[in-house]
Structure 1
Amino acid sequence: MSLSVRLQHQLPGIALDLNFNAPSGVTVLFGRSGSGKTTVVNAVAGLLRPRAGQVTIDNRILFDAERDIWLPPHRRRLGYIFQEGRLFPHLNVRQNLLYGRWFAPRGARRENPDRVIEMLGIGHLLDRRPAKLSGGEKQRVAIGRALLAAPRLILADEPLAALDDARKAEILPYFERLRDEVSVPILYVTHSAAEVARLATFVVALQEGKVVRQGPASEVLSDPSIAPAGIRAVGAVLQVRVARHHDDGLSELDAGGARLFLPRIPHQIGEELRIRIPAQEVILSDRKPEGLSALNILDGQVEAVRSGEGPGAIVSLKTQAGVVLARVTRRSVDVLGLQPGSHCYAVIKTVALAPQDVGGPAGSI
């Protein structure tokens, strides 16, 4: 699947003017609230008719302003997952799921309902009404309904935003399975760096209606000059393998031959994962630290030092595990004499690596 989006549109407070091409997998629209993410998704869905531009899926034109082509939403064959499940309250889960199949055209490739139900873990919910479901359960049913409509593309507009942390942790693995086990591509909206790091095949970063960066998650999240969701979203994305689970509650990861320790994670030995290390959770030392409680110490070489307008700086460090970023003060940069080519150590607290920053399988980063 290839999705091509070129849009120009004026809304109160924002002028949308962007162009991007999305590959197969999960393409994430990433940015702050008000950057234009939902407007783009609504234009693709046909819920908004832009002033100018073109939207195509696999060369099938959904919208072309110059040629006066605009397919209504029901003819676009798209599945839409909203922030809230938006299930039909008078139908049970089974009926909500099968409702999506009414929109699957004859001859379209259909997902097996039993496989979808198993993948989403909702078999025990089939006879319940939406009022008896948790927020996470409603979202799983909404995912299934969208998938069973045999869509060319699934649109997910901040599907985790209305959930608490526990429900987000419940739902994220299902989106990972959707990415890895189903052939339907996804256009996913979020302002969460953790969701980007775990899910994205490709990232389109938006600011004030413009595309400011696009590419793999590891590149977009590590660029402090972009910071589409704020400087706290800057961080490294590493590809690792689960090496061992220890009796003291820690999991050991192999990161390119380097060892990293996390609080116990629910993944099998040998499984490949992505992990996100926020730059603000990394400190630097010009000599190998001793006598610290931190277990994660990476030896590396400074690639770049990027200073902001304030007192802070982002140091990019090439290590055996991959590129790690540290958010430090400019004073620390001067005291340590950090510059490209400098040798130093990155120190990462084990407990700083949160469960929401760990996901798998690794896929493309």
Structure 2
Amino acid sequence: MSTLRLAFDRAGFRLDVDLALPDRGITVLFGPSGCGKTTLLRCVAGLERARGRVEVTDECWQDDAAGTFLPAWRRRVGYVFQEASLFPHLTVAGNLAYARKRAGHGAGAIAHEQVVELLGIAHLLDRDPAGLSGGERQRVAIARALATHPKLLLLDEPLAAIDPARRREVLPWLENLRDALGLPMLYVTHSADEMARLADTLVLMEAGRAVASGPLTEVLARLDLPVARDEEAGALLEGTVAEQDERWHLARVDFGGGSLWLSNDGLPTGRRVRVRVLARDVSMALERPAPGTASIQNVLRCTVAGVAPGSHPSQVVVRLDCGGHALLARVTARAADQLALAPGREAWAQVKSVGLVR
């Protein structure tokens, strides 16, 4: 595990976090602008002098109690900013070579070739940065950060400055890095789509504090957090494409709590996918609708695990347990009362829409 125990003050703002994070995968720092996400990254990198302790895997970069503080240049951090900031007088290959030379940690040819392949930039190596698209520049910037052979990769809203089409272009490459490298990453975003697609671990930030931290699916389904009352509140499920209905262009995704049909955009059978079910797209019933009597195709047997107030007095948010997997449903408080929805109550969740995350 990595430890981030940091306090930092500036005019009108205080950062105070105490986190234990896994040494693999992507940890997403999620929250509104001004909540301290970027400040936390800068403190971890040593660019801001915070108080506390920073330990990444087996290296201690800061421990005020022991009088330890490594300056930024001695911390094995790769940092990717919103703007790629590549050296305009160097080719892509030149930018990567410069990073490897400056690193001094022995990032060899095999690591270089792996990064080039994982980010799909081999055909760009002889190009100048001015001739690259926004998405290409950010992929090169990520490759340059990895060329320093870091122990930790920090990404500060790396897709915020590019248009949605280029953003969709870059996301699969980030997934490649997550799945292929054992390198831990801290990823800052206020985009729910990026969070849902990339995060393994989620840290919810609010007013300089980490109000929740843990596996993505668990944090999103917690009723005690504001995220459960957000308009985009919902649950994530991981499953496998089990069947394709070519006539109706649908694919069936099986997970531990049942099956869900969703639009098929060429998903191969057997592929692992992550799907998102928004609370507003889930309704409740005490009896399973008879086949052919309702338009909703996805119906899951479940047990009510909890009920909490919604964002308006007329609403409640219901947490459902579907075979050990959590769903959220947003229903009116009157409907919840009429159905006597309470922990332990067996019911049926009717899922109107399912979104493929990856």
TM-score if structure 2 supplies the norm length? 0.90
Distance in structure 2 (CA, Å) of the matches to 1:157 and 1:132: 24
Stretch deviating more after TM superposition (61-70 or 125-134): 61-70
Deviation at 1:156, TM superposition (A): 0.7
Stretch deviating more after TM superposition (53-62 or 109-118): 109-118
Inter-CA distance 217–335: structure 2 relative to 1 (3 Å threshold):
same
> Is 1:285 equivalent to 2:253 in the alignment?
no
Stretch deviating more after TM superposition (36-45 or 317-326): 317-326
Distance in structure 2 (CA, Å) of the matches to 1:119 and 1:210: 34
2:339 to 336, 341, 344: 336
8 A Cα contact 1:111 1:150, kept in partner: no
Amino acid at match of 1:339: A
Could you tell me which residue of structure 2 aligns to residue 310 of structure 1?
A: 312
Could you tell me which residue of structure 2 aligns to residue 324 of structure 1?
A: 327
8 A Cα contact 2:35 2:208, kept in partner: yes
Query: Superposition pairs for residues 21-40 of structure 1, below 5 Å?
Result: 21-25=20-24, 26-40=26-40
Could you tell me which residue of structure 2 aligns to residue 362 of structure 1?
A: none
Unaligned runs of 5+ in 1: 360-365
Distance in structure 1 (CA, Å) of the matches to 2:124 and 2:324: 42
> Is 1:345 equivalent to 2:325 in the alignment?
no
Query: Superposition pairs for residues 60-79 of structure 1, below 5 Å?
Result: 60-79=59-78
8 A Cα contact 1:156 1:187, kept in partner: yes
8 A Cα contact 1:238 1:321, kept in partner: no
8 A Cα contact 2:223 2:306, kept in partner: no
Distance in structure 1 (CA, Å) of the matches to 2:300 and 2:124: 46
Could you tell me which residue of structure 1 aligns to residue 136 of structure 2?
A: 137
> Is 1:151 equivalent to 2:153 in the alignment?
no
Distance in structure 2 (CA, Å) of the matches to 1:228 and 1:303: 17
Could you tell me which residue of structure 2 aligns to residue 354 of structure 1?
A: 355
Q: Percent identity?
A: 44
Inter-CA distance 11–225: structure 2 relative to 1 (3 Å threshold):
farther
Inter-CA distance 353–82: structure 2 relative to 1 (3 Å threshold):
farther
Inter-CA distance 63–257: structure 2 relative to 1 (3 Å threshold):
closer
Amino acid at match of 2:20: N
Provide, for residues 132-159 of structure 1, a one-character-per-residue CA deviation record: whole Å limited to 9, x for no partner. 2222111111111111111111001112
Distance in structure 2 (CA, Å) of the matches to 1:234 and 1:96: 41
Distance in structure 2 (CA, Å) of the matches to 1:129 and 1:183: 30
Deviation at 1:243, TM superposition (A): 1.0
8 A Cα contact 1:224 1:234, kept in partner: no
Could you tell me which residue of structure 1 aligns to residue 182 of structure 2?
A: 183
SS in 2 for 1:166: helix
Distance in structure 2 (CA, Å) of the matches to 1:110 and 1:234: 44
8 A Cα contact 1:221 1:227, kept in partner: no
Provide, for residues 27-54 of structure 1, a one-character-per-residue CA deviation record: whole Å limited to 9, x for no partner. 222222221111110001111111x212
Provide, for residues 240-265 of structure 1, a one-character-per-residue CA deviation record: whole Å limited to 9, x for no partner. 00112332322221122622111124
Distance in structure 1 (CA, Å) of the matches to 2:224 and 2:187: 23
Query: Superposition pairs for residues 11-26 of structure 1, below 5 Å?
Result: 11-25=10-24, 26=26
Q: How many residues are treated as equivalent by the alignment?
A: 353
8 A Cα contact 2:18 2:210, kept in partner: yes
8 A Cα contact 1:62 1:69, kept in partner: yes
8 A Cα contact 2:228 2:317, kept in partner: no
Inter-CA distance 212–12: structure 2 relative to 1 (3 Å threshold):
same
Deviation at 1:92, TM superposition (A): 2.1
Amino acid at match of 1:319: C
Query: Superposition pairs for residues 40-189 of structure 1, below 5 Å?
Result: 40-50=40-50, 52-107=51-106, 112-189=111-188
Inter-CA distance 230–116: structure 2 relative to 1 (3 Å threshold):
farther
Provide, for residues 150-202 of structure 1, a one-character-per-residue CA deviation record: whole Å limited to 9, x for no partner. 11110011122223332222222212111111122111112233333332222
Inter-CA distance 230–315: structure 2 relative to 1 (3 Å threshold):
closer
Could you tell me which residue of structure 1 aligns to residue 212 of structure 2?
A: 213
8 A Cα contact 2:106 2:149, kept in partner: no
Q: CA RMSD in A?
A: 2.3
TM-score if structure 1 supplies the norm length? 0.89
SS in 1 for 2:231: helix
Stretch deviating more after TM superposition (152-161 or 59-68): 59-68
Distance in structure 2 (CA, Å) of the matches to 1:102 and 1:229: 47
Unaligned runs of 5+ in 2: none
Distance in structure 1 (CA, Å) of the matches to 2:207 and 2:257: 41
8 A Cα contact 2:239 2:274, kept in partner: yes
